[in-house]
Amino acid sequence: MIEKSKIDDDILQKVLNEQRIHQKLKHSHIVQYLNFIEDNEKYYLVMELCQDFTLCHFLKEREGRPLVEKTALRILHQLISAVKYLHSNNIIHRDLKLTNILIALSHSSNSSSLAALSQSNDPRFDIKICDFGLAVELSHPDDEAYTICGTKAYLPPELKNQGDEPCSFGLDIYPIGVIYEALLTADLPKESNNNHHRPYKVQENPDLSSLSKDFILQTLRPSVSESLRCILFIASFLILYSSWPIKIERKTINN
């Protein structure tokens, strides 16, 4: 619900852009758009009903306890499945972060509240990407977006100080590494210029597999081109995905 009297033209364009893009999307790990309603005083973006907490709320509630690798990998699969779907439709989210990923409790969930879920050693839930206000739809897969936006802690180091430089799908790749690293360390991303040191923190954890460590290291590697980051991301994820020794809900990656 958005009050018309409290928004300017820029915010209105953001709302209309979100409505235009979001109504085209249908994926199990993206919040489902239902309707857009306008009256004399307000705009209403009607979405499917989800729990009112995000991955950020969840990690804060765990008070510094990281997720076990099996659980984090399950979430990673769902996130990549949704981003893969967006990119296949020429859409860049441009603001992937913990606060834009909702937790959706399903029939398989082993808790019914945030407090109970956060105490579980192996919490089971689905995630759903939300907030498409900064998303952009490219007219062709080879096109580029010329406005770099998003949350600083989730931006690739090489893009933080650039203005209207071209960028593309790689803008959604770096934050996936940041999110996965946060799940495995319970270390929330901070607004600073030092986040390019983040991937090296996971090396200190003896309980993590070398595959997860390498995936984070390659995805968050500083000072590489956008195209090279995408290649490193795909290669390291495929190795991680194919080599994991336990059964994961692999159907999600093909949605």
Phi, psi angle pair for 161, to nearest 5°: -105, 10
**Helix, strand or coil, per DSSP, at residue 68:** coil
Tell me the catalytic residues: 95
- In tens, the pLDDT along 92-150 reads 999 999 999 999 876 555 566 788 888 888 888 899 999 998 899 988 766 656 566 77
In this structure, are residues 50 and 108 in contact, taking their beta carbons and an 8 Å threshold? no
Q: Are 103 and 125 in contact (CB under 8 A)?
A: yes
The rounded average pLDDT for each run of 10 residues, N- to C-terminus, in the chain (255 residues) is 88 89 95 94 90 90 90 92 93 94 74 78 90 87 64 79 66 91 89 54 79 87 75 82 56 43
Q: Which of 242, 218, 244, 220 is nearest to 232 (CA)?
A: 218
- Euclidean distance between CA atoms 79 and 39, whole angstroms: 35
Q: Facing residues of 35 across strands?
A: 46
Helix (H) or strand (E) holding 190: none
Choose which CATH entry (1.10.510.10, 3.30.565.10, 1.10.540.10, 1.10.287.70) describes domain 55-254: 1.10.510.10
Per DSSP, the three-state class of 253 is helix
What residue segments make up the domains of the chain, in order of their start? Answer: 2-47, 55-254
Exposure b/e, 104-133, CB count within 10 A at least 16 = b: bbeeebeeeebeebbeeeebebbbbbbbbb
